[in-house]
Each structure stands twice: as C-alpha cells, then as structure tokens.
Amino acid sequence: MPVCSIHCGRNAVLKRPKTGDALCKECFFEAFESEIHFTITRAKLFKPNSTVAIAASGGKDSTVLAYVMKMLNEKYNYKLKLFLLSIDEGITGYRDDSLNTVKQNRDDYEMPLKILSYKDLYGWTMDEIVAEIGRKNNCTFCGVFRRQALDRGAHLLKVDCLATGHNADDIAETVLMNILRGDVARLNRCTSIVTDNGDGIPRVKPLKYTYEKEIVMYAYFKKLVYFSTECVFAPNAYRGHARMLLKDMEKIDPSVIMKIIQSGETLKVKSTAKLPTLMNCTRCGYISSQETCKACVLLEGLNKGLPKLGIGKSSKVKKALDDIQQNDSLCCSARGNSNVNNIKDLKDKKCLCLGSQNVLSVQIDEISLEKLTVE
C-alpha cells in the first residue's frame, strides 16, 4: 500500500487523476475542498451577502456541490444564503425518485428547497413529450426546457446567482461535442465559468475544474447519499458518444480532461467567422440566437401537433412558424384543452385561444423566497 504523497505518514487511498498524486483520505478532502475554494475566489464567483440557488438534481455532482458549498460558506465565511432549486421533468422512475434524494439534501444541509415542474412551466411532462416524439430527440427537449426552467426558477426565487454542478468531465465533454457538431458559437462560450442568459442572473460552475472521479470518491468517502440511476431515456443521447470517447482517452492519460478545457478556454474564434448575434426571444424575452428561442419553437411544435418542428434547421423552423402564425386557429385545440399554456402566454399573461386562464402565471405569483422553508 503506497503512502500519502503529502508525507503525512498515512496510507494513500486514491490516485488523483489531475496530478497523479497518491493521497490519504484527509489530504484528499483538504485538496479537493481547497481547490474548489480557490476556483471560487480566483474567478470571484460570489459576492458576500448574496443569495445563491444551487441547481439540485439529486445526482452526485449537485449533492457534492451542495455539501461543499455549505462547508466552504461556513469555513471561509462567504456570507452566502444558499438555496436548492430542483426541476421535475416528469420522468417516471427517474426524477420522482431522485427528488426524494434532493429532499434528503434539504434536510441534511438545512437549505430551503424549491421544486418547479415541466408541467407547471410548459404544460408537458417529459413522459408526455416522449410519448409524442419518440426516443430519438427527447434529450433535446429535456435539455432546452431544463436550461430555461433553471433560469426561470432562479428568477422566481430572486436569487443573485445560480450555481450548477458541471464538473471538469462535463465541460470537456461539451467542448468535444461542440467540435464534433461544428458549433463554433457554443464552443466559444461553453468553457466560461460564469455565463449570463440576459436576465442578469449569472450561472456559475464551482466544480468546473473538479474531476468526476474525485467527486464520486469524495461522495463515497464522505458517505454522501446521491441518486444514481441512469435516466430512462438517456441511452440514445448524442452526448453519450462524446462521453465514451472522453472516458476512453482519460484512461490513456487523465490529464486530457484539463487539456481539453484549456484548449476550449484559450481558443479564439477568428473575427471573420460567422457567429449568430444574440437577441431576446420575441415570444418569451429570453436570450436567443434566433427571433424565436429554441424552447418556444419546441413548445410550439408540441402544442400544434408538429413535435419535430424544433429539431431541423432554423430556416425551416422559421418558415413553419410563419405558416402556423397564419393559421393560428389551430392553436391548442389541435390537442384538446390539456396543454393550454405555451411560453407566449408567459408574456401575454393569457393563452391565445382560451383568452383568460393561465396556469403558469398563477403559480409564479405564488412563489416567493419568504414562503420557502425547511420542512
């Protein structure tokens, strides 16, 4: 059994992928936590006395993030008010179980928790969406909707900042994926540690330089309970291929993960490259590269019985949307009255076809920070 590289005299329990050091449990905890603290302070992620929502899925990353944030907040006196924010996509056998883990986090870490559901926000659960579009493009819907759901949730909670559990492997994976897709615009911004979606609430990634292996080892040694069932819809996701490629390369040399992130960070898109200009969605006001944001397009497709609408090229989408606009009598009634609210209603505060009742606006008004309590 090798001894700890720090020369503390204890036996090593882990080989760090980032450095190759063999560390004992105590020295590993110390290194793990202080590196995250260093990441936070160097990038000035949080201002004192601000409120921070931690995006919590019940998985390993957000569980470790919540634990470490609470610990560092106390240890280094960040003076942050921490909240948990969860999105319920409505995936039977996945999210309903993982939300129980989030509730456990709420109790263990004594943080208020707010759960927002796709059904509340969009009128559709993921189960219903999959029933409509099949399993090929469902992760597109889920990802796009979740991104906005977290933004909306952060907005509703009136927090100053939203922290997500993206780890180093996730970021490297995204860099690879954007290269494979030729998505230069996303490649350009996907490594940023702070991003802003135009609503003034920054999204930050405190675990950006933390390896997945260390997160899992940390959770294991700290005996943190997290939820680990694969999403029942995930096996067909494109991301899985990028992930396997990355994991295979990591086996040969673990430092590739940091090197890919570094490449993404230092990469500069040449000035002649055609990049989409960012604007606000004409329907919901969220930041978008198109006139109508992806979430609104996908939702429009679902509500009009054209679920493939948002999957193809944006030029085709625009044409299809114009066609729909001209034929607006189809709205909602195409699917009965079960899915009356779309994103457009958010702004107009009324549904185009029903005119008055809006499920969403009522629910939004009910949510405020004061009402969040630790049960």
Q: Write down the least CB distance from residue 230 to another protein, Å.
A: 5
Q: Name the segment binding another protein (CB under 8 A); options: 10-18, 105-113, 126-134, 281-289.
A: 10-18
**Cβ-proximal residues to 330 (8 Å cutoff; 6+ apart), any chain:** 304, 305, 324
315 is annotated as contributing to ligand binding: no
- Asked if 153 is part of the footprint of another protein (rule: CB under 8 A), the reply reads no
Closest to another protein by CB, 234 vs 330, is: 234
State in angstroms the smallest separation of the CB of 109 from another protein.
17
x-or-dash string of contact with another protein, 298-337, rule CB under 8 A:
----------------------------------------
- The answer on whether 61 is annotated among ligand-binding residues is yes
Site string for another protein, 249-278 (x = CB under 8 A): -xx---------------------------
**Number of CB atoms found within 10 A of residue 37's CB:** 17
- Secondary structure (3-state) at 325: helix
| Of the candidate residues 43, 179, 234, 364, the single one contacting another protein (CB under 8 A) | 234
Instruction: For residue 123, give the nearest of 345, 317, 354, 312 by alpha carbon.
Output: 345
Q: Are 84 and 111 in contact (CB under 8 A)?
A: yes
Instruction: Give, as one character, the DSSP assignment of residue 328.
Output: G
Is 31 annotated in some ligand binding site?
no
Residues 98-137: x where in contact with another protein by CB under 8 A, - otherwise, as a string: ----------------------------------------
By CB under 8 A, residue 212 contacts another protein:
yes
Contact 202, 161 (CB under 8 A): yes
Interface residue with another protein among 39, 61, 137, 153 (CB under 8 A) is 61
Left, alpha or beta for 51 (phi > 0: left; psi -120 to 50: alpha)? beta
